[in-house]
Amino acid sequence: MKQTRYQELESMLKEKIQHGLLKVGDYLPSENELCIQYSITRTTVRKALDNLVNEGYIEKQHGKGSRVKEHRNSLGLLNVKGFSEAVGMNVNTIFLQKPIKTKWNQQLAFHPSEMELQSNWLYFERLRCVGDDPVMLESNWFADQEIKKFVGQEFVDGSFFKTLSQKYLVEITGSEQELRAEYADERTSSYIKIETGAPILHISIKFHTSKPDLFIYSELYCNTMKYPIGNSYHL
């Protein structure tokens, strides 16, 4: 189906933001400039900008115009409180396994589609720390039919979600989650520095994306003794 004029403008501006041509803090051209540049009505421009506001890409500032904002969809996901607040205060993410091709892990909580099972899989594992405190062991899987040449990619600002957005034009649109209280096994306890058999929070997440056939499956093992769990999670 052919896009309407406001959808064309919205897509064009979104791609500029995703590719970093319009950066956080930059102002978009004025409504009048967009009308002239693309030969469209002010109503069309406003509808495109309103959609970008609703999707979290820009914010409107009275008397100044529309400015690109940090794009963070909370989506009711889960986060270790203190990660976003502690940015610039010795937050550290350690790759235990950089992205590699692998097979589907049958032990995961959520089950993929037949189409996904017929694909190759990509996997990476990270340890998330605040200061000297390891607080989350994180493993991620996804089928590679929609994401090509991912192995060897450097993450944008260390962020998986930003990398998907800026390099592949893929957005996270929702999630399914399961939470379980478990006892830490020897491997998990060695990474998050707790005793084997100590209680931990195990979170399984199936992320939905803007590509209908692309899902991301994450397993998180959290030490909540010092950093409790909040309601937004940013990869």
pLDDT tens digits along 107-120: 888 989 888 988 89
Does the domain spanning 5-68 belong to CATH 1.10.10.10? yes
- Which residues, in sequence order, are bridge partners of residue 125? 97, 139
Tell me the domain boundaries of the chain.
Answer: 5-68, 79-230
Would you place residue 76 in the very low, low, confident or very high pLDDT band (cuts 50, 70, 90)? very low
pLDDT of residue 28: 94
Would you place residue 224 in the very low, low, confident or very high pLDDT band (cuts 50, 70, 90)? confident
Return mean pLDDT, the chain: 85
pLDDT of residue 1: 62
Fold designation for 79-230: Chorismate lyase (3.40.1410)
The answer to whether residue 54 scores a pLDDT higher than 60 is: yes
What count of other Cβ atoms lies within 10 Å of the Cβ of residue 32?
Answer: 10
- Which residues, in sequence order, are bridge partners of residue 16? none
